[in-house]
Amino acid sequence: MAEFQQGRRCKNEVPTPNILRVTAPGAEYVCFEGVTLRNGQTLKDQSTVAQVQSIWIPDCQAPVKAVIVLKQCSIGRLVPRYGMREIKRTEHQFTRSVKEVVTVLNVQHNCHKGQCEVTMSQTKMIERKICDVMVSGITHAKTSSFILNSAAHYSGELHRRIANTKLTAVTPEQWNTTIAHGLDVWHDVPRQKKKEKQAANQTNHLDTESEVEQ
C-alpha cells in the first residue's frame, strides 16, 4: 500500500521554501493542499501539533516522495480551565517526510488565553447556498497557544500519552447512571421550536384550504 494518496494541488502559487533546497538540492516540488495517510486521516497545511506549514511533492524523480514543512511545537502546562494540556507553536521550522507522520492530533485554539470574541462574522448556508444572512462565530485571536484534545476518539491513547494526564477509569455503573441522567435531561427540555414549526405548517395548510374553497 502507498505511504499516502495525493490530494489537490494548491490553488494559489506558493514560493518554494528555502529549507527544501537544502533537503533535496535540484529537485522540483509541487505544493499540495493535503495528503491522505495510510490510516485514512487527512494531513493538511496549518494542522498541528508540529504545525504543518505546507506540503510538497517532487515533480520529478527524487529520493523523497513527499516533504512537509513544519513548525515545531512544545508541550506546555495543564490548563485548569480545560483540564487539558497546552501545545505551544514555536518559530523553529524543519522538514519531514510524510511517511514519518505517525498520526494527526486533534488540538483546539486556546480561546480563553487569546480572549477570542463571538461576533456576527460568518455567513449562513440555506439550501447549500451561501446567503447574506450573518450568524455568530468565533473570531480567533492571533496566538501560538492551542489545547490538545485529550478526549479525542481516534488515536486516543497517543493523545493522552502526550498530554500526560491522569484519567480515572469510568465504571459500567457510572456509565449507566450518566446515560440515564442524560436521557432524563433530554426528555425534560421543552420542544417549543418544534411546536412552533408544526403550528406554522398547520396555518399554511388552513390558508391553502381557504383559497381552494374560495
26-36 residue pLDDT tens:
777 788 777 77
Domain range for residue 26? 18-34+47-111+142-185
Strand 67-79 and strand 84-97: pairing? antiparallel
Within a domain: 26: yes
pTM of the model: 0.52
- Indicate whether 79 belongs to any domain: yes
191 occurs within a structural domain: no
User: Do 89 and 56 contact (CB within 8 A), yes or no?
Assistant: no
- Write the DSSP symbol of residue 153: S
* Residue partners of 124: CB distance under 8 A and separation at least 6: 130, 131, 133, 134, 135
Residue 208 domain-assigned? no
Confidence grade of residue 191 (pLDDT, cut at 50, 70, 90): confident
Q: Is residue 97 part of a domain?
A: yes
Most confident of 5-14, 83-92, 127-136: 83-92
Distance CA 53, CA 34 (A): 11
- Going 40 to 38 to 66 to 92, the CA torsion angle's sign is positive
Per-residue pLDDT, averaged over 170-194, amounts to 88
Evaluate whether 14 touches 33 at the Cβ level (below 8 Å).
no
Number of domains in the chain: 1
* Structural domain includes residue 27: yes
Give domain status of residue 96, yes or no. Answer: yes
